[in-house]
Amino acid sequence: MSIEIVDPTALGHQLEPYSDGRIWEEHVVLAEIICHTETIIHSAYEIGRRLIWTKEVVGHGRFGDWCSDHLPFSERTIRDYMRVADFLAKHPALLKPLGRAGLKKTLLLTSLPQEVLEEMVGDGHMAEVPVEMLGDVPYVELKKTVEQLKKALEKQTEVANKAENKVADLTMALGQQTAERSQFQEFAAGFVAKDGARLKAEIERLASHAGIVADRWPELTGSQRADVVGLMEGLHAQLEYELLRFRTMIGDEVYGHQLAEVLQHAEAVGHAVPDHRVLPFAAGGR
């Protein structure tokens, strides 16, 4: 942008205290301003280093009083110098390029997360701006970039945390499933070995009783028939319970919701039949 410059000679001697009697030349004045800006950062760094050192020597509790007694700085200025010193001590590669950025911009950069700063130092860029050009970026734009970088890192951290939690949950679930599967395999093996034979015997017994009943049914009295029906219903319910229990235990959860109904039915029928499982006419005559 072209700016109209007032003729320096028209101002007479009123600017002499600031010009040292020289004629104003833009490129010379600008170079001098930048040179002294670099001096500000270096001075802030050196002052901050000595403030940190002094704080450790005199103690945190007395450091504030020491500064009030000996330094012409406000508490905020002291904190700023120490922030700059700590920042540049951790990232010495930024000392030279940030010399042209000035104190305000340097303090802004100290608010960046460590991950962003490490990437900036390693890559030599902050976003799309080369580190050595940060001094040329207007403060408002630099502040906007810093906020964008912070938000981007927060988003990445949030996504990473969610992914980490998801992995942890899946790992825990997988561990539980593995343990349950191991326990189930042990149980299924034991159930088949132990209860399989008993279940087979119950089936054979029910089939045998059914055959006997079919042969003798015409000869039974009404009372015997009622007892036989009750007993056979109880045996059938018990067998149905055992079968569903077997299916459920070996992992066929489809039958799980039926188990409670069968148990209720078996218990209801079981109260109405004798405890023994002998047909009322099996031991005697007709």
The per-residue pLDDT for range 68-101, each reduced to its tens digit, is 999 988 999 999 999 999 998 888 888 888 877 8
**Rounded Cα–Cα distance for residues 204 and 133 (Å):** 92
CB atoms within 10 A of CB 45: 22
Place of tokens 């040329």: 136
H/E stretch holding 20 reads: none
**Rounded Cα–Cα distance for residues 156 and 236 (Å):** 63
3-state SS, residue 57: helix
Distance between the two ends of the chain, CA-based, in angstroms? 124
What pTM does this model have? 0.50
Structure tokens at 173: 């679930």
Predicted confidence (pLDDT) per residue in 256-284, tens digit: 455 566 666 666 655 554 444 455 555 44
Query: What number is the average pLDDT over the span 213-220?
Result: 72
**Rounded Cα–Cα distance for residues 55 and 62 (Å):** 8
Structure tokens at 96: 């030279």
**Rounded Cα–Cα distance for residues 51 and 82 (Å):** 7
